[in-house]
Structure 1
Amino acid sequence: MNTKFFPLKQLPSKAERHKLFGSVLPVPRTKPIEKSQMADLQNTKKDFLFDLDAVGISNVKHPLSVTGDLEPKIQSSIANISFSTSLKSTSKGTNMSRFTEQLSTYYRQGVFQADWQLLKTFTKELADRLDQQDATIELQFPWFFERRGPQSDLAGLNHADITMKVIYDYQTGYTLSASLSALITTLCPCSKEISEYSAHNQRGVVSIDVELNEGAVQAEMDWKTLLLEAAESNASARIHPVLKRPDEKMVTEQAYENPRFVEDMVRLVAADLYEMDMVDKFQVACRNEESIHMHDAIASVTYDKRTENLG
């Protein structure tokens, strides 16, 4: 057997390669290297024309510990985080590094998790660190929960998209808001009514946005589970990750027994949210991806329970 050898290419050294592709020698350093001697442009005090509603950083990916009432009760997720504070016109900028510096401190201590009380403490400390009177943190992350087939009892993981937002203000205190987006099944009441047999159905997306009071911080039951149940229990049927034929029969028949227009969905979910003491204000939206139409069907409702006390 003949083996053919090819001559190896003679490459220049790594330093010469870098020079070939544009690297140059460092220039003499003349500016300070000690932080105390460096210019701090962000802390410049002048009249910079306008107050800023928010300044900060976004799209920060970071590990997050999530706990809840549904299995898996303790899980690791990845959060997309935004931090911000307001800024007076007398300040040029804020110290961006302090946002991630505090996040790293919490992470090293092993305490960064999706918990309202922790996030309240975080925003208060962040405002103090920034020498500002307010601070905001917003977390977006997937939350996984176990779902079993109604007949087979075979388990799989579903997920909902969660947002937690905490605003701290020195004068007004804390504002807590949250959102959940989950998939459901709906069956068309009109199709069922006019057809000799069968009815078309669709996959729907229920989005819930709520403003919470301190009851959510003190609640014994997981607020995520409560919002999820409000979305799923009012649907024609729930979405399952694992379905065998006996499961499919049960889910199909359940959907047929519980037809829902998109309008029905938002009103029924709204009724559940209205009865939750921890919820002060809510918006419910539903979007159905129609199975026999080219369009989606949408509906939404917004309600502030605090307005009932006015007048």
Structure 2
Amino acid sequence: MNKHMREPMTPTREQAEDALRLLRSWAGDAAPEEVADLDPLLSRLVPGAVQSNYPALARAYPEDFAVDDSYRASMPDLQNGPSSLIRGAKAQIQHVGISNFRLPIRFHTRDNGDLTLETSVTGTVSLEAEKKGINMSRIMRTFYGYAEETFSFDVMIKALDAYITDLESFDARIQMRFSFPMKIESLRSGLSGYQYYDIALEVVERDGVRQKIVHLDYVYSSTCPCSLELSEHARQFRGQLATPHSQRSVARLSAVIAPDTPILWFEDLVELARSAVPTETQVMVKREDEQAFAELNAANPIFVEDAARLFTQALEADQRIGDFRVVASHQESLHSHDAVSVLTRGPTFESTSLDPRLFASLFHVG
């Protein structure tokens, strides 16, 4: 005789509610130990019941608690754990660290003065494929060991060496961003005011090769040569007043400092940019300065292609500069889009792909 296995019946909601009432009734009268012995989770079904299996935790912050070596040694440290804790591919990471920690840094100026400027620092190191992670706090702690010095590339190199040693890495990078003030005279009125230049310094160690890199954002006015000629055509042939379009424009100059050459001061790089494209935006302006600026723009009309080549000509002429890149953006007043150009020299800045936000990062607002 064949016996058929009876399929288990799924309880109805009504049966589940009856069972829940029965459990609550029993748990309400049973000792906490009995409830925990049956199933510790049952204590959660009894309203107001103390969960005997859940520890009573202190809720006040222990201000007098002090960490000693023994306690510190007992604390978990997942980032320095075995490679078995790695999630995802066991792959080398080129850069891992901290971006945009800020502190006041003292810089030396060309006229032998010192300036203390708020500086944003990014510090990263490489991570081998078999290592879980790095101790992020060491990035800041190591850098702070040099923060009281007057900064230069030499000091950055010392901090970079400390990164490689303290974090047991083979490659490392430090980037420092700040806004550098220079007093600029007006074109004709004799007034002067402070222009602020976005500058970044980088020291990079990669595959045993070390590079020092400086970046400058230079803001200028670009008058369209075509629009200038069309405006003059309207005046000459039709007696029609017309004005050429011009716009605020930005060039980001990035340059590798050539080894064993004199110091390239921040002021030197700004003046190099201004010598290439003299229509820098103004600070203090009276009517005579505004008129002078109109004349200066008319004397130096410039397409974005011209800008890239003029900056390149100036960079190539300076023996202190090795590889470089020029990224220019003319933020058009005629169009609803921008005119852009990129020109590089040397392998450092060669790239098949461009950062999708590269040109958007060139907008400078007042």
TM over 0.5: yes
After superposition, give the CA deviation of every residue in 1:78-108 in whole Å (9 maximum; x if it has no partner): 122111111112221112121111222223x
Residue number among 280, 284, 288 corresponding to 1:238 in the alignment: 280
- Look up the match of 2:210: 174
- Look up the match of 2:54: none
User: TM-score under structure 1 normalisation?
Assistant: 0.79
- Look up the match of 2:94: 53
Who wins on radius of gyration, i.e. which is larger? 2
Could you list the runs of 5+ residues in structure 1 that have no partner in the other structure?
Answer: 1-22, 307-311
- Look up the match of 2:252: 207
Kindly state the Cα deviation for residue 128 of structure 1 after the two structures are TM-superposed.
1.0
The answer to whether 1:65 aligns with 2:106 is yes
Kindly state the Cα deviation for residue 202 of structure 1 after the two structures are TM-superposed.
1.5
Range with bigger deviation, 230-239 or 96-105: 230-239
Kindly state the Cα deviation for residue 131 of structure 1 after the two structures are TM-superposed.
2.2
Kindly state the Cα deviation for residue 157 of structure 1 after the two structures are TM-superposed.
0.7
**TM alignment of 1:138-149, pairs within 5 A:** 138-149=175-186
- Look up the match of 1:162: 199
- Look up the match of 1:111: 149
**TM alignment of 1:36-51, pairs within 5 A:** 36-46=73-83, 48=86, 49-51=90-92
Residue number among 91, 97, 100 corresponding to 2:131 in the alignment: 91
Could you list the runs of 5+ residues in structure 2 that have no partner in the other structure?
Answer: 1-56, 236-242, 349-366
Asked if the contact 1:210–1:279 (Cα under 8 Å) also holds between the matched residues in 2, the reply is yes
The answer to whether 1:219 aligns with 2:262 is yes
Aligned residue for 1:298, secondary structure, equals strand
Aligned residue for 2:146, secondary structure, equals helix
User: TM-score under structure 2 normalisation?
Assistant: 0.68
Q: Distance in 1 between matches of 2:212 and 2:270?
A: 18
* Paired AA for residue 302 in structure 1: T
Q: Distance in 2 between matches of 1:220 and 1:127?
A: 26
- Which structure is higher in strand share? 1
Kindly state the Cα deviation for residue 254 of structure 1 after the two structures are TM-superposed.
1.5
Q: Distance in 2 between matches of 1:262 and 1:173?
A: 34
- Look up the match of 1:78: 118
Asked if the contact 1:177–1:212 (Cα under 8 Å) also holds between the matched residues in 2, the reply is yes
Kindly state the Cα deviation for residue 271 of structure 1 after the two structures are TM-superposed.
0.8
* Paired AA for residue 91 in structure 1: K
Kindly state the Cα deviation for residue 305 of structure 1 after the two structures are TM-superposed.
8.1
**Alignment RMSD:** 2.7
Residue number among 240, 252, 258 corresponding to 2:300 in the alignment: 258
Query: How many residues matched?
Result: 275
Q: Distance in 2 between matches of 1:278 and 1:236?
A: 21
- Look up the match of 1:188: 224
Q: Distance in 2 between matches of 1:32 and 1:38?
A: 10
Change (3 A) 1:73 1:247: farther
Q: Identical aligned pairs, as a percentage? A: 26
Kindly state the Cα deviation for residue 134 of structure 1 after the two structures are TM-superposed.
2.6
* Paired AA for residue 181 in structure 1: D
